[in-house]
Structure 1
């Protein structure tokens, strides 16, 4: 898969940062010396952490060099490191591990989530937000198109392209035995969008990338055209002419015993 495009991702930065703020608002820490932003992207979520914990050592990690370069330019006071979340381990136990819209790309949550939780300092917090939109038309249509010619062969198995999430209760169970507290909740955001083309632009920065990156230019163009046509059928215009994009997200905040 090609590297991420920070400029494309940031076109909807306000909408993408809103759940990051709401996740951080539920973190039950008054102070933290060491904070890690796992999958920091262009630094929009890391900036929230720097503001919330100004005395902390804040480290952002990502596997995209383009995202890391944008984050470093945005926040020279923070540290940024290249890492793969699936193999990441901290040098020193953090007081907060914060993963906003990143763990949905990482497999084997039954192993990953307890491992991240165990890496915390005593009294530390694991805070996670993940898009839970695989069943929404935006993502269902990606898989439907990827399963038919002429796009099927170059894309391959569409189901492998993103981790299937557990129900909220499953994540609660992964953490509850060892945690002091576990807070889980689900929010469905409703984003007014100007057109089906605007929805395509939104998902091109994230979930659509693994589908279109393997395609040659001609097939990429035909995939996007058919995808936009089908989106227009799924998202009717509202009273003001806009389309309402439902975007479910899952939140998990767990604290270790002191």
Structure 2
């Protein structure tokens, strides 16, 4: 398995993703992938793209279910693709940003696990993805819906008040970006996608995740939701942020008597067939 050559621009080393940190909770990250797969009724899709494949958690499951499909994992991170390329599956790996990605050939299945929530403009993005499907093809996606989660509100509070003399951290643009809501409501997804599909299924779940470690919630979110914050702040502001945020997280998410921590987590699922 080779990573397909792609032109790319050099990136600062501090923008790299950490595959090993992401894999720490691989079993819990796999659970919504399995739930989404269980709802897909395609029998023999010939061409599958795993969008935002990361370390290949979903790609591996897709390969097991449809071993004869032409399977491609797409991700913007060379580090993640490098980790995925060690999987014992038949797949191609393609480095691309999903905002500009275009399928080389129409797909039967576009699978997007925990990636679309990082991209703004779903009213443009999702119809564009649907246009890359064959008739009868399916877009299957799940997205964390964390903007109203307590830990996310604690993060926003920290950005607003953990600076010198209780002032803000980072730039106005950073705080505005983190407060944005790329993920739409369920009814807005229906109104957006129903006119473009022949079959549409949208649902939301809340999973009471039980996580282990000294600071497991931070360990989970630092490699995803908090990544823009930790990259944007300078060393002094980053330390101010961590001191304040970790104190709040430990206060509001104390460990249970068995040492584990309860981490409620909402996700939106979409199955759209054209």
Q: Same fold (TM over 0.5)?
A: yes
Say yes or no: does 1:160 pair with 2:177.
Answer: yes
In structure 2, C-alpha distance between the alignment counterparts of 1:136 and 1:16, rounded to whole Å: 17
Q: Which residue of 1 aligns with 2:269?
A: 251
Listed as ranges, the gaps of 5+ residues in structure 2 are 1-13
Q: Which residue of 1 aligns with 2:120?
A: 107
Say yes or no: does 1:65 pair with 2:78.
Answer: yes
In structure 1, C-alpha distance between the alignment counterparts of 2:202 and 2:248, rounded to whole Å: 33
Taking a change above 3 Å as real, the CA distance of residues 101 and 169 of structure 1, as seen in their structure-2 partners, is same
Q: Which residue of 2 aligns with 1:10?
A: 23
In structure 1, C-alpha distance between the alignment counterparts of 2:38 and 2:170, rounded to whole Å: 44
Q: Which residue of 1 aligns with 2:44?
A: 31
- 1:144-180 alpha-carbon deviations (Å, 9 max, x no partner): 1112324613584323146531101111111111211
- Give the conservation status (yes or no) of the 8 Å contact 1:95–1:123: yes
TM-score (norm 1): 0.93
In structure 1, C-alpha distance between the alignment counterparts of 2:174 and 2:82, rounded to whole Å: 31
Q: Which residue of 1 aligns with 2:63?
A: 50
Listed as ranges, the gaps of 5+ residues in structure 1 are none
Taking a change above 3 Å as real, the CA distance of residues 75 and 210 of structure 1, as seen in their structure-2 partners, is farther
- The CA RMSD over aligned residues, in Å, is 1.8
Q: Which residue of 2 aligns with 1:226?
A: 244
- Give the conservation status (yes or no) of the 8 Å contact 2:63–2:89: no
- Within a 5 Å distance, the mapping from 1:193-232 to structure 2 comes to 193-194=211-212, 197-232=215-250
In structure 2, C-alpha distance between the alignment counterparts of 1:117 and 1:21, rounded to whole Å: 22
SS in 2 for 1:122: strand
In structure 2, C-alpha distance between the alignment counterparts of 1:33 and 1:109, rounded to whole Å: 26
Q: Which residue of 1 aligns with 2:203?
A: 185
- Give the conservation status (yes or no) of the 8 Å contact 2:174–2:229: no
Instruction: Report how many aligned residue pairs link the two structures.
Output: 256
- Within a 5 Å distance, the mapping from 1:123-142 to structure 2 comes to 123-142=136-155
Say yes or no: does 1:172 pair with 2:190.
Answer: yes
Taking a change above 3 Å as real, the CA distance of residues 153 and 205 of structure 1, as seen in their structure-2 partners, is closer
TM-score (norm 2): 0.88
SS in 2 for 1:123: strand
SS in 2 for 1:24: helix
In structure 2, C-alpha distance between the alignment counterparts of 1:99 and 1:194, rounded to whole Å: 27
Q: Which residue of 1 aligns with 2:53?
A: 40
